[in-house]
């Protein structure tokens, strides 16, 4: 795989993160089951992307930059607010 593949994937994840942020800011959407599923899917996708990074043949600095971006996105996704658990 080439570094361009990972950079393009990260661009897509940035767009999805913006959409998830917008949905999580609305109280109605925050309690939506689909929002929680989308967040889980985003987290799993980022984990897989990080695992696939092992196959990248690129300079170490480029690999480090991509890993840093993946970690930052993962952190942002996991910090998205979700609704209250039903009691």
Residue 85 lies in a domain: no
User: CA–CA separation, 9 vs 1, rounded Å?
Assistant: 12
SS3 content of the chain, % helix, strand, coil (to 5): 80, 0, 20
Residue 21 lies in a domain: yes
CA atoms within 13 A on the CB side of 34: 5
Range of the domain at 31: 3-78
Please tell me the least confidently modeled range out of 1-5, 24-28, 44-48: 24-28
| Its pTM surpasses 0.75 | yes
Residue 87 lies in a domain: no
Average pLDDT value for the chain: 84
What is the secondary structure of 45-84 as a DSSP string?
HHHHHHHHGGG--S-HHHHHHHHHHHHHHHHHHHT----P
31: its two tokens: 């309690």
Per the structure, how many domains does the chain have?
1
Whether the CB-CB separation of 20 and 38 falls below 8 Å is answered with: yes
User: CA–CA separation, 65 vs 57, rounded Å?
Assistant: 14
Whether 45 shows a pLDDT value over 90: the answer reads: yes
Residue 83 lies in a domain: no
Model pLDDT for residues 47-70, shown as the tens digit of each residue: 999 999 988 888 899 999 999 999
């Amino acid at each position: 795989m080439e570094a361009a593949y990972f950079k393009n994937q990260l661009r897509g994840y940035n767009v999805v993160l913006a959409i998830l942020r917008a949905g999580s800011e609305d109280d109605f959407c925050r309690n939506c089951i689909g929002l929680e599923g989308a967040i889980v899917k985003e987290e799993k996708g980022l984990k897989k992307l990080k695992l696939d990074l092992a196959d990248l043949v690129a300079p170490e600095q480029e690999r480090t930059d991509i890993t840093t971006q993946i970690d930052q996105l993962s952190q942002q996704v996991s910090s998205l607010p979700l609704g209250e658990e039903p009691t």
